[in-house]
Amino acid sequence: MTQQDLAEAIERENTQLESIERRTHISLLRRLASLRLTLWLIALLAIGTILALRQEGARTWPMVIPLGLLAVNLLSAIATNGVFRRQTALLVFHLSLVALLLLVAAGRLTYLKGHAGVTEGTNFEGVLAEVERGPWHNGKLSSVSFVNNGFTIEYAPGLQRGATRNDVAWRDATGRSQRSVIGDQEPLVIAGYRFYTTFNKGFAPTFRWQGADGTAVFGSVQLPPYPMHEYSQALEWTPPGSEVSVWVMLDIDEVLLDREEHSTFRLPEKYKLVVRVGNERHEMRSGDTLSLNDGTLRFEGLRSWMGYRVFYDWTLPWLLAACAVAVISMGCHFWQKFAAKPWDA
């Protein structure tokens, strides 16, 4: 055998090996694209959904595994199944499902949700009481600010809550002042962060705290939500910069929300503010001051506070677009399919 024959034989063998390898890949892709597998994976996703519903702490993997496998199954089907090349609408529908999946994944990696309570007449300064965020969230909540200018809520007999109207003000990206009324169905949206009013709202005694060094700071105590916790309007509070713990209780001496009549959420006019420091009990009225070991506490008056649900997910408009494409393409696919032949043909 000459050297040239040997080279040709090696080349032939390589070509054969490549062909076998390609056939193996195609065979693997075809297996991954199996329609029977699709049905199993849809069933697995249903089981994962039930698991996720039942176990709040285990909602990620029961969904991620079947959805990931379905995506692989679908992409393999698109790569190997000629139906997708012949039926554009079907292809677009399935691609939009993949896009939805990717968008939901991106949303889960970058989302933020939390809660914040803002006292009337004060600023939201980017701090949340409870927060949950995706590992890649890099939004700028700390630069978001707005003022809660107060709210109105009507109640029907039986303490049935009506519409919430919350007056808010903020500066837009160009620095101009903006003002709006938000409430049910109407969030405040700043820099992609959406602020929703909630049923959590109540009263906030407001204090001026002057420490031993003479610096004065304003602060408010957001008492538990009203009327949900009507009979436990008390909270422990430490004035800013102080180490003294102050127990604050609002004792309301009037019916604010009548269960028998239509009424409106409002601040009480007849009330006592009970402040307890250690074993000492004090009743304070607006303007009263109380001297403590490391400063002076002055009661400035009672205000309301509103609890906001905060939500950030940049994928929302894209998700809607992907859904629209999915439904339209699915509709087109079925229309073409059914128009081609009557059902009783």
Closest alpha carbon to 119 in 111, 127, 108, 110? 127
Q: Which is nearer to other proteins, 19 or 60 (CB)?
A: 60
- Tell the residue number behind the tokens 């250690």, with chain if given: 278
Among 6, 26, 50, 109, binds other proteins (CB under 8 A): 50
Q: Closer CB to other proteins, residue 6 or residue 50?
A: 50
Q: How far apart are the first and last CA of the chain?
A: 68
Helix (H/G/I), strand (E/B), else coil: 4: helix
Interatomic CA distance for residues 226 and 117, integer angstroms: 13
Give me 84's structure tokens. Answer: 């997708």
Query: Which H or E run contains 11?
Result: helix 3-32
Site string for other proteins, 187-226 (x = CB under 8 A): x------x-x-xx---------------------------
The 3-state DSSP class for residue 93 equals helix
340 binds other proteins (CB under 8 A): no
Q: Are 273 and 297 in contact (CB under 8 A)?
A: no
Chain-centroid distance of CA 54 in Å reads: 20
**Beta-carbon count within 10 A of 146 CB:** 22
Exactly one of 56, 243, 260, 280 binds other proteins (CB under 8 A); that residue is 56
Per-residue tokens: 320:
């809607």
Residue number, 18 or 132, with CB nearest to other proteins: 132
Contact mark string toward other proteins, 304..323, x via CB under 8 A: -----xxx----x--xx--x
Q: Among residues 109 and 216, whose Cβ is nearest to other proteins?
A: 109
Q: 130: left (phi > 0), else alpha (psi -120 to 50), else beta?
A: beta
Report the residue from 4, 5, 35, 86 that binds other proteins according to the rule CB under 8 A: 35
Kindly state the smallest distance separating residue 53's Cβ from other proteins, in Å: 5
- Partner residues linked to 74 by β-bridges: none
Strand partners, 169: 147, 179
* Tokens found for residue 204: 């906030």
Q: Select the residue interacting with other proteins from 29, 30, 32, 38 (CB under 8 A).
A: 38
Closer to other proteins by CB, 182 or 249: give it: 182
Site string for other proteins, 92-131 (x = CB under 8 A): ---------------------x------------------
Selected range binding other proteins among 38-46, 144-152, 214-222, 240-248, rule: CB under 8 A: 38-46
Beta partners for 123? 147
- Residue 293 has, within 13 A of its CA and on its CB side, a CA count of 10
Q: 15, 60, 160, 293: which one contacts other proteins (CB under 8 A)?
A: 160
Cα Rg of the chain, angstroms: 31
Count of residues interacting with other proteins (CB under 8 A): 47
Q: Is 85 helix (H, G, I), strand (E, B) or coil?
A: helix
Site for other proteins in 228-287 (CB under 8 A): none
Which is nearer to other proteins, 98 or 330 (by Cβ)?
Answer: 330
Site track 170-189 with other proteins (rule: CB under 8 A), x = hit: -------------xxxxx--
Query: Residue 51 or residue 277: which is nearer to other proteins going by CB?
Result: 51
Residue of 332, 308, 281 whose CA lies nearest to 131: 308
Q: Which of residues 320-339 bind other proteins (CB under 8 A)?
A: 320, 323-324, 326-327, 330-331, 334, 338
Residues that bind other proteins (CB under 8 A): 35-36, 38-39, 42-43, 45-46, 49-50, 52-53, 56, 59, 113, 156, 158, 160-164, 183-187, 194, 196, 198-199, 309-311, 316, 319-320, 323-324, 326-327, 330-331, 334, 338, 343-344
